[in-house]
Amino acid sequence: MERWKRAAAALLLGGAGLFAPLGSGNGAQAAVIDTMAPARSHTHTHSHTHTHEGEDEAPETEEERSKLASWSWPEGVPSAERPAKLVIRLRDRDGTPIDGLELSHEKLMHLIVVSKDLASFQHLHPVYEGGGEGGGEFRIPVVFPSGGRYKLFAGFRPTGLNELTRTAEIEVQGPSASGEALAPSESFSASANGVEIALTAAHLMAGMPSSLTFAFRDEQTGKPVRDLEPYLGAIGHVIAISEGAQEMLHVHPVNASASGPQAVFAATFPKGGLYKIWGQFQRGGEGMTVSFVLRVPSQEDG
């Protein structure tokens, strides 16, 4: 079982120079995916409850729903282990590029890329290509570790609105990794960069505020770690994705400015079931990523 992954800390890869110009439009071989519907996303800025079982939550306002992302792979369908150029274009429903964006956790866009079995996880920051004709455009090379189906979640904040999430799926060419079924972690302690990171969850129940606490201990000395560094402006970042990559929660810390030995996060899981949770932290200039799989009970479970 894969117990932890090293953070890919410096993920801002290059800039426009890595890309061929898009020219006058999408080439014949360009792969384009449009996501018209808002993702089912949850951020700390919303608090809401399910009214009907299975109903898509609709925390977004009408104006927010009009903010769309179109995804394209100008060099064609991605292949495993090769950088695939991704372009994400933000626009209003009427086609106007969205140029007014606010920083969220120090970035204009956060991109989470997971394989549908949640074995592979990447947290990337696409590069903003500015306004003008190609306004509202972000680019990033994405390297998929193997073939198969992936889901991408892009988070961004149009000026004056909440943070929005838009999603896409892509079938990556190449041999796919042997997909193991998602199962709850046997241990909620993992090791990264000489630090033992343990997760405990309290009030774990779908539809209710749960708290996720990561505790940090030096593996050599056993002492609590108190010198975590801010990662993207906070003690850490936690992302939770449901089995099958349907739901994503971008969870934010309660004690954002702390430096250890605990990082506490608040999350409301929309439904019961399995969730994979990635915690990303930084110490001594090095990123640390740990992941665990939790089963979130639903109130119907009794």
Q: Which stretch binds Cu ion (CB under 5 A): 20-28, 103-111, 196-204, 222-230?
A: 103-111
Site size with Cu ion, rule: CB under 5 A: 1
Mask of contacts with Cu ion, 82-101, x by CB under 5 A? --------------------
Q: Which stretch binds Cu ion (CB under 5 A): 91-99, 102-110, 130-138, 258-266?
A: 102-110
Closest CA to 235 of 258, 264, 266, 261: 258
Q: How far is the CB of 140 from Cu ion (least distance, A)?
A: 11
* Residue closest to Cu ion when measured from CB atoms: 110
Residues whose CB falls within 8 Å of the CB of residue 140, separated by 6 or more in sequence, listed in order: 13, 85, 86, 111, 124, 125, 126, 127
Q: How far is the CB of 125 from Cu ion (least distance, A)?
A: 5
Among 42, 89, 110, 276, binds Cu ion (CB under 5 A): 110
Q: Is 75 left (phi over 0), alpha (psi -120 to 50) or beta?
A: alpha
Nearer to Cu ion, 252 or 276 (CB): 252
Nearer to Cu ion, 91 or 107 (CB): 107
Q: How far apart are CA 110 and CA 92, in angstroms?
A: 19
What order of strands is seen across the sheet that includes strand 137-143?
Answer: 31-35, 67-73, 83-92, 137-143, 127-128
The sign one gets for the Cα dihedral 255, 256, 257, 258 is: positive
Nearer to Cu ion, 123 or 276 (CB): 123
Q: How far is the CB of 138 from Cu ion (least distance, A)?
A: 12
> Beta strand 248-253 with 41-42: parallel, antiparallel or unpaired?
parallel
Nearer to Cu ion, 30 or 232 (CB): 232
Q: How far is the CB of 123 from Cu ion (least distance, A)?
A: 5
Q: Is 217 in the site for Cu ion (CB under 5 A)?
A: no
For the chain, the 3-state helix, strand and coil shares in percent, each to the nearest 5, are 5, 45, 50
Nearer to Cu ion, 110 or 276 (CB): 110
Residues whose CB falls within 8 Å of the CB of residue 249, separated by 6 or more in sequence, listed in order: 41, 42, 43, 239, 240, 241, 267, 268, 269, 270, 275
Q: Which stretch binds Cu ion (CB under 5 A): 23-31, 54-62, 105-113, 258-266?
A: 105-113
DSSP annotation string for 226-290: --PBPBTTBS-EEEEEEGGG--EEEEEESSTT--SSEEEEEEE-SSSEEEEEEEEEEETTEEEEE
Q: How far is the CB of 107 from Cu ion (least distance, A)?
A: 5
Mask of contacts with Cu ion, 218-257, x by CB under 5 A? ----------------------------------------
Q: How far apart are CA 249 and CA 269, in angstroms?
A: 8
Q: How far is the CB of 288 from Cu ion (least distance, A)?
A: 15
Q: How far is the CB of 149 from Cu ion (least distance, A)?
A: 22
Residues that bind Cu ion (CB under 5 A): 110
